Structure 1
Amino acid sequence: MTKDEWSVDVSVDIEAPADTVWAIITDLDGASEVMSGILKVERLGGPNGYEVGTRWRETRKMFGKEATEDMEVASVDAPRSTTVVAHSHGADYVSGFTVEPLASGTRLTMRFTGSPSADASGFSRFMAKLTAPLGASATRKAMQTDLNEIKSAAESRAAI
């Protein structure tokens, strides 16, 4: 990690098989039905399923306002891990999920990393460093909510 980067890791243990958890986290079209923070997902091109190069526009409610980001699948090691990248407002974002089978179900870990883009101005870099603690705190809360909702959906599907 560079000195300008910040990251947040959050994990949750889920009483459901890893393949059920994997199916939920890679279902872009059903994401807004599982995670309340996602208002809508619009596919932009690339493959129709979920693989490297799949692109979409995701609209979330953040800080009381709608925020829309274009995202792209950067890596997939099904059914173990995936990485998604986004670039917005002078910053680069990397989100990753790791799915780890456990004797009692699955541990799902999400890591979110933010850093100023290579083309970010000095002022943008300064502001990013200044606001990183607030951003990390809000991001952790949103990630925990997402993971708890994924857990709920996976455990409901596993109980069927």
Structure 2
Amino acid sequence: MLLSTTIAAALETCWQTITDIEHCDQWITSIQQIEILTKPEQGIVGLKWTETRMMFGKPATEVMQITQSQPQQYYQVQSESCGTLFDSKMALKQTDNGVELSMQIDTKPLTYSAKIASFLLSWMMKGQFKKALQQDLDDIKKHCEKIETRQTVS
């Protein structure tokens, strides 16, 4: 699944925002709590955290880790939940209209029960999952544009 939005802010502002995992619960409305487990000495590859968010009306806590990154371009996160591997990528691209932020999430069922659940429920959950991810993008956009407005006024 691939979603994107265009943000009226500098690339640096967008990168700082999407990589500030430690404080993202302050502007992403569905995230209730972040706890940093491992913080690398340099960069963001290896950053590992627990994230508690509302998913389908219930709190869900997952362990997530940044596995790849190209500064000011993208980072990749992996997590495993309910027998499924989640591989997500947050990417930034400078455009004539601002910065395009895209989020791509791929899932791979690892267990037999996850494969069955994926087959039976994917059509039903896809819309809700897409809506939740779009809200994350909208929240990030709003936060970046708010920062940009403050910097322009200062």
Fold agreement, TM-score > 0.5: yes
**If the length of structure 1 is used for normalisation, what is the TM-score?**
0.89
Secondary structure at 1:131 match in 2: helix
Runs (4 or more) in structure 1 with deviation over 3 Å come to none
CA contact (8 A) 1:25 1:150 kept: yes
Q: What is aligned with 1:37?
A: 30
CA-to-aligned-CA distance 1:12-59 (integer Å, 9 cap, x gap): 011001111111110011100110000010011241675111100000
For 2:33 and 2:149, the matched residues in 1 are separated by 27
Q: How many residues align?
A: 150
Q: Which has the higher contact order (CA 8 A, sep 6+)?
A: 1
Report the residue type matching 1:159 in the other structure. T
CA contact (8 A) 1:48 1:54 kept: no
For 2:129 and 2:43, the matched residues in 1 are separated by 24
Q: What is aligned with 2:114?
A: 124
Q: What is aligned with 1:3?
A: none
1:16 to 9, 20, 23: 9
Q: What is aligned with 1:67?
A: 60
Q: Does 1:107 align with 2:105?
A: no
> What 5-or-longer segments of structure 1 have no aligned partner?
1-7
Q: What is aligned with 2:20?
A: 27
1:82 to 71, 75, 84: 75
For 2:8 and 2:106, the matched residues in 1 are separated by 27
Question: Percent of counterpart pairs with the same letter?
Answer: 29
RMSD across aligned positions (CA): 1.3
Secondary structure at 2:108 match in 1: strand
